[in-house]
């Protein structure tokens, strides 16, 4: 969730502190693909990633009976020749019902992927007040199928779980647990090795089931390299919830649960020190649909706090994995903007920004990164 942007123009404008409006920027996919007709309204529709040439796409609205239009060839869009993302349709007001027009609202339906949706999985209704002989670009951000992913089955556990992100470097990780007057939770020293692994929000955890019968008991944890000589005391835990811990070969920390928020694909995380009232993120790529919709893009999907730093995050969509996009931060079309970075959507990205630029940071090891802007 592409720019024949006159590449030399944007850097110059940024240097001058000025801002191009959306109308002054011409994108590759926005170039005309169909001839105008004096007796028809032309809509050229920019489709989202994953729209295939064998799909059947229809326009629906009060002017053509809504769902009654689906399957009728006169309301079906045609893909542009030699263009994967542009589709078009000619509309003649003489065919409109009950005096309705495009100003009464319309949307698009894919026979394969369902109804048009916003990047936030909301229903979409476009409105236009245009006349004969006109051409208008319209963008479809998502199809309903984009949000209909199958959730993996939850792992079944015996009681509460201790999840460990293991950065110890040990060949073998073991966990020993003792409590006052209690049996050793994982048996005698050095305890138990992990019972399995789970991936949560891109983090691979080794896990230790604590047993339903032990609910409410308090144990002290000792991590060790399976009795090989290295060990350290960790936290005491009361078995009334799951625990998420990150360890090295000598230390531990509890992971903030907000880090485990599930994301749709990889995410762009931004620590916002711009001072702007609003932050929006726009993303374009050569020959690709705009990732977050038309300028100025979208505002954050949510926030997460890592090591005391709050990041706004922007989910990029699992369907866009591997795509290359250029990011532009702006004050939600208030007149301020700057180019942030080019990213390949094969991992999460973390940035710290001011009102003039940003740098990539390591949220878990900030002292190892360049000085923040």
> What is the CATH class of 161-255?
mainly beta
3-state SS record for 28-89 = HHHCCCCCCCCCCEEEEEECCCCCCCCCCEEEECHHHCHHHHCCCHHHECEECCCCCCEEEE
The CATH code of the domain at 32-147 is: 2.60.40
- pLDDT, one tens digit per residue, over 183-235 is 999 999 999 999 999 988 778 899 999 999 999 999 999 999 998 899 999 99
Q: Which of 1-5, 54-58, 221-225 has the lowest mean pLDDT?
A: 1-5
CB 354 within 8 A of CB 333: no
From the list 198, 218, 118, the residue with the least C-alpha distance to 126 is: 118
Rounded Cα–Cα distance for residues 373 and 357 (Å): 7
pTM above 0.85, yes or no: no
- pLDDT, one tens digit per residue, over 340-352 is 999 999 999 999 9
Rounded Cα–Cα distance for residues 41 and 133 (Å): 6
Which DSSP letter does residue 258 get?
G
Q: Which of 20-29, 51-60, 309-318, 323-332 has the lowest mean pLDDT?
A: 20-29
Rounded Cα–Cα distance for residues 15 and 329 (Å): 15
Task: Judge if 32-147 and 161-255 fold alike in CATH terms.
Answer: yes
Q: Which residues contact 366 (CB under 8 A, 6 or more apart)?
A: 307, 309
Query: Average pLDDT in the 273-286 region?
Result: 95
- pLDDT, one tens digit per residue, over 66-112 is 999 999 999 999 999 888 789 999 999 999 999 999 999 999 999 98
Name 116's bridge partners. Answer: 143
Q: Which of 195-199, 261-265, 332-336 has the lowest mean pLDDT?
A: 261-265
3-state SS record for 197-230 = EEEECCEEEEEEECCHHHCCCEEEEEEECCCCCC
Where exactly are the structural domains of the chain? Answer: 32-147, 161-255, 260-368
The pLDDT of residue 373 is 42
Q: Which residues contact 228 (CB under 8 A, 6 or more apart)?
A: 170, 171, 172
Tokens in use for 229? 């000589």
**Does 284 score more than 50 pLDDT?**
yes
Given CATH 2.60.40, say whether it is the number of domain 260-368. Answer: yes
Sign of CA dihedral 143, 147, 148, 149: positive
Q: Cis omega before residue 296 (within 30°)?
A: yes
Rounded Cα–Cα distance for residues 69 and 234 (Å): 64
């Amino acid at each position: 969730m592409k720019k024949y942007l006159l590449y030399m123009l944007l850097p110059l404008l940024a240097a001058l502190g000025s801002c191009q409006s959306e109308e002054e920027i011409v994108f590759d996919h926005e170039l005309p693909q169909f001839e105008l007709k004096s007796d028809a309204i032309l809509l050229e529709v920019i489709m989202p990633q994953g729209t295939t040439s064998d799909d059947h796409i229809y326009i629906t609205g009060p002017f053509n009976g809504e769902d009654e239009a689906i399957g009728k060839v006169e309301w079906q869009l045609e893909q542009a020749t030699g263009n994967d993302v542009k589709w078009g349709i000619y509309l003649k007001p003489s065919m409109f019902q009950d005096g309705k027009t495009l100003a009464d609202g319309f949307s698009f339906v894919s026979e394969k992927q369902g109804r048009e949706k916003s990047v936030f999985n909301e229903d979409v209704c476009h409105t236009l007040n245009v006349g004969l002989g006109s051409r208008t670009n319209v963008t479809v951000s998502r199809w309903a199928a984009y949000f209909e992913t199958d959730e993996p089955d939850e792992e079944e556990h015996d009681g509460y779980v201790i999840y460990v992100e293991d950065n110890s470097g040990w060949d073998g990780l073991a966990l020993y647990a003792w409590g006052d007057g209690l049996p050793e939770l994982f048996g005698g020293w050095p305890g138990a090795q992990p019972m399995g692994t789970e991936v949560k929000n891109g983090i691979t955890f080794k896990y230790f089931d604590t047993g339903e019968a032990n609910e409410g008991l308090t144990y002290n944890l000792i991590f060790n390299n399976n009795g090989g000589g290295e060990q350290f005391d960790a936290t005491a835990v009361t078995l009334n919830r799951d625990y998420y811990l990150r360890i090295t070969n000598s230390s531990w920390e509890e992971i903030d649960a907000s880090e485990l928020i599930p994301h749709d694909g990889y995410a762009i995380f931004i620590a916002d020190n711009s001072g702007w009232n609003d932050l929006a993120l726009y993303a374009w790529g050569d020959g690709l649909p705009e990732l977050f919709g038309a300028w100025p893009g979208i505002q954050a999907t949510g926030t997460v706090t890592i090591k005391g730093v709050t990041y706004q995050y922007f989910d990029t969509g699992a369907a866009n994995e591997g795509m290359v996009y250029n990011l532009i931060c702006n004050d939600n079309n208030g007149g301020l903007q700057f180019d942030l970075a080019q990213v390949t959507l094969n991992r999460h990205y973390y940035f710290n920004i001011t009102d003039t630029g940003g740098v990539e940071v390591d949220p878990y090891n900030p002292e190892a990164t360049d000085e923040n802007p």
